[in-house]
Chains A and B, each alone.
Chain A
């Protein structure tokens, strides 16, 4: 059941569409930002380290470090939506079309819900993280792999950002940790669509609900803006947040989703 559901998630047109949108933004960011940084004559003195400048590095040129470049800003803004497109709305269509009842009759509600959640989580995580990693590699093809230096003043991670000390001490661990956070957070956000399936009677609204909530929180949280997924998913961290609170937020959401789906699973009726 799990393999079939994962296969279904990863071979769907919606997965391909979301994946290609993310990859297109990642590629455009390399062309518009990393390429001029690495080869453009306007950045010549930065490239040579003249006039006391610290040369641009992959770690201040890639998508996760240039929050105000068009492609990067757009990617992180629509990331909660991209993550939900591949498979998050499939429970709604399964229930509506009667496929869910067929599958549950054969293998049980628990296995169906578990497989559905796992496939949704994995497909969302891949759609979120793969473009970032591709962009990192693409940027490294034009800009050198120099260690970040706080005194250079060109690295976006400030001392008020979460894990900022780690960024300057072990930058690749920081990137890896953010990849894990993005994978997990996008997976959890996508799984919230499974919950919204029971609250809305429109497939589009079910898929877009987490994105709409993220946008509302982005504008409504005021000083606590850093806790909106749109902000904490971005390794550049324009708005500061605390790691413990971000993890608590994700854990709370994941627990609430698991509890709700477990309850719906127990009450699932084929007819």
Chain B
């Protein structure tokens, strides 16, 4: 009697495991494998998928070339944008911050006008990420629109701004490590992850030489 019970339990467990595996395989079959395409600074990077308006981006029609990447502190940012005040720093919970400035050139290689949603791009380093910080982006760029319309063959330059705060890490050590780590500008995530590898930013008011020791 006991042997029958054990046998029945084993058969039931095996059948359940096979059913689970088959179902998991079926669910994953319908999703394409996410490929990764990365570019470097100075490369004419392109991306694919849909932008946030639902428009399909044809790979190669719009190209994004990163021409510079630097980090500035709160004082540097205030010097650049005199009206800027940060409630997280001034009496807020954060004690340090960096503004990452990414200089990009946007080219339209299509035969028709194309739009680039720069607010879809994000900056990433390990687990840290942030989206475009619009108030400073608007102040730094002559054309404040985050949806850039490009005529065929037109090139536009923009400075993208991303903010990082020390409260986004759980220790001062990790904050310092983040400032010296390698960053990527993410252009699209699905079905292809397209990014521009930016490396460590040029630090304007932070001793860059310390980075090598902290890595």
Contacts and interface: CB of A to CB of B under 8 A. Distances in A.
Interface of A: 38, 49-55, 137, 140-147, 149-153, 157-162, 164-165, 167-169, 240-242
B170 A241 contact: yes
Given A49-B190, A53-B190, A145-B24, 16 more contacts: A49-B189, A50-B50, A52-B49, A52-B188, A55-B190, A137-B20, A141-B23, A143-B27, A150-B124, A150-B128, A151-B122, A151-B129, A159-B126, A165-B127, A240-B170, A242-B171
A38 B170 contact: no
A169 to B, nearest CB: 8
Contacts of A147: 34
B188 A55 contact: no
Interface residues of B, number: 35
20 contacts: A49-B50, A49-B189, A51-B51, A52-B49, A52-B117, A53-B190, A55-B190, A137-B20, A140-B20, A141-B27, A146-B31, A150-B126, A150-B127, A150-B128, A151-B122, A157-B127, A164-B126, A168-B126, A168-B127, A169-B126
A52 B168 contact: no
A157 to B, nearest CB: 7
Which of B30, B34, B122, B190: most chain A Cβ within 10 A? B190
Contacts of B188: 52
Interface string B135-176: 000000000000000000000000000000001111100000
B39 to A, nearest CB: 16
Contact of B51 (A52, A140, A168): A52
A159 B168 contact: yes
Nearest to B195: A151
B28 interface: yes
- Chain A's interface: helix, strand, loop or mixed, by majority? loop
B99 interface: no
Given A140-B24, A242-B170, A164 B49 contact: no
A145 B169 CA distance: 27
Interface string B17-57: 00010011001101100100000000000000111111000
Interface string B102-131: 000000000000000100101010111101
Given A52-B49, A151-B186, A145 B28 contact: yes
Contact of A38 (B27, B49, B171, B193): B27
Contacts of B169: 159-160
